[in-house]
Amino acid sequence: MSRLFDRKVALVTGAASGIGRATAIAFARVGAAVVVADADAQRGAEVVHYITESLGEQSLFVAVDVTDPDSVERMVRTTVSHYGALDCAFNNAGVSDKSSSLRVSTQDNWDRVMSVNLEGVWHCMRAELDHMLAAGKGAIVNNASRSGLVGVPSDGIYGAAKHGVIGLTKAAAVEFASKQIRVNAVCPGLVETALTQARFGDDLVPRSRLANPLGRMAQPEEIAEAVVWLCSDAASFVVGVALPVDGGATAR
């Protein structure tokens, strides 16, 4: 997909680390101007620096709180004001649920996970769709999860949010396909990021050997490649898909 995104603008939320960082860089490698959106200004600026200085591509950091609709609308307005377009968006910002069972989960667990992982995607989609409808085209990918496709005992609240993301994705896909806006989702399995390391600690490596038929964790770059493909013209007839990128975990 070399240079397939020349003169295109891609927006990535949660782009300061993990899957978001890898996806921002992947978009830049194929020629896109990339808006790095995150609540972490320092690490977000580091991603922008890498894209502009090491890759020689255009990039801009925008601070965003995806739980705040005004902040999200400013993010999209800044993107369009700075680059004149918004062609692709990856709604990736998310948090994990640290409770191990529904029985020990709390209202705080629920509120935090839902406000970022589900409501945040809703805020982002509404703001992005407003511009894409005016432009008459666009591609959106939402970050769901394997936990949005199947029941995972330790992921009750997180899984509920990710099932909701898939529901939003499919509804928007059907509603806006006739407007030439494609909406899809990726559903990663276990990915080697700081977020998963913080959650599982020393249990992460042995867990990864059992997580899927490949017997390993994904690297963030492997998820990023799927996102970029879904946003590209190579996926021009792909609409409303919740794509597992999980090493075969949901195939068992």
The residues carrying an active-site annotation are 158
CA 245 to chain CA centroid, Å, is 13
